[in-house]
Copies of this chain bind each other. A is one copy, B any other.
Amino acid sequence: MLLFPMVYAATRSVSNKAPLPSKRANARSRAFDVKQFLDSTGLGRKVGTYDRKATVFAQGDPAKHVMYIQDGGVKLTVVNETGREAVVAILGPGDFFGEACLGGQHICMATATTIAPTVVLVIEKNEMIRVLHEEHEFSDRFIAYMLARNIRVEEDLIDQLFNSSEKRLARTLLLLARYGAPGDPQKSLPKVSQETLAEMIGTTRSRVNFFMNKFRKLGFIHYNSRKIHIDNSLLSVVLHD
């Protein structure tokens, strides 16, 4: 399983569900360079380097740092009492995570696991608060980020409220594939396990397997042990009944 390699590095980030393309571009394409800013202020002094499948922090850990992804990718998951796992977000370069501690959250509500070799800037909570207060450009940029992030999560919620698991799977595949070679109608994405897809859309692996086979039989997607190929125009039909 080799998830989300540089495909996402190029496009800067990915949510497990519904990022508004306009939003995303908007939040990221400003002249202000976050990485450069963090370096210049010394905020990004501390760098964390992780292998694939490493745990950056775990649900329940004390929450004292905000992370800024420089390279790689991170999956945020939560587990419930029964041990079932759900994927809350999949983040890439340019995304923050752990930012909830800024609002007084003392404990991490999710586990952050890398899905590729990853480099993050580790920003101490109080420093982040101080700089957000002092530096206009940075707080502007952070507000834009939070607005975009909020819209993504709301869209994920709406997706859950409205759609059947078949549609949610189709939507998730399309969103993941969007970040492949643009202009290519035959998008492909690195293999994501059916288990992970199930955790993303909140259903069982049985169900994912069932629909993956259905989509394949209908010719909407193709896959082998290392890639999933998606025919955008065909699969998107599923979303519109």
Interface presence of A80 (CB below 8 A): yes
Interface presence of A224 (CB below 8 A): no
Interface presence of A202 (CB below 8 A): yes
Q: Please name all residues of chain B whose beta carbon is closer than 8 Å to the beta carbon of A134 when the two chains form the complex.
A: 136
Q: Which residue of B lies closest to A89 (CB)?
A: B154
- Contact in complex: B136, A103 (CB < 8 Å): no
Number of chain copies forming the complex: 2
Q: A160-B202, A161-B202 are in contact. Are A147 and B102 (CB under 8 A)?
A: yes
Q: Please name all residues of chain B whose beta carbon is closer than 8 Å to the beta carbon of A160 when the two chains form the complex.
A: 157, 160-161, 202
Q: Please name all residues of chain B whose beta carbon is closer than 8 Å to the beta carbon of A102 when the two chains form the complex.
A: 143-144, 147
Residues of A contacting B: mostly: helix
Interface presence of A217 (CB below 8 A): no
- Contact in complex: B78, A158 (CB < 8 Å): yes
Smallest Cβ distance from A132 to chain B, in angstroms?
A: 6
The answer, among B143, B144, B147, B158, for a CB contact under 8 Å with A86, is B158
Smallest Cβ distance from A80 to chain B, in angstroms?
A: 5
- Contact in complex: A146, B150 (CB < 8 Å): yes
Of the listed stretches A2-10, A18-26, A169-177, A205-213, chain B binds: A18-26
Interface presence of A204 (CB below 8 A): no
A105 to B105, CA, bound (A): 29
- Contact in complex: B103, A26 (CB < 8 Å): yes
Smallest Cβ distance from A213 to chain B, in angstroms?
A: 23
Q: A139-B143, A162-B202 are in contact. Are A157 and B153 (CB under 8 A)?
A: yes
Q: Please name all residues of chain B whose beta carbon is closer than 8 Å to the beta carbon of A133 when the two chains form the complex.
A: 136, 139-140
Smallest Cβ distance from A173 to chain B, in angstroms?
A: 18
Interface presence of A43 (CB below 8 A): no
Q: A103-B23, A104-B26 are in contact. Are A240 and B148 (CB under 8 A)?
A: no
The answer, among B100, B106, B132, B157, for a CB contact under 8 Å with A151, is B100
**Per-residue CB proximity of A118-160 to B under 8 Å, as 1/0?**
0000000000000011101001101110111111011011101
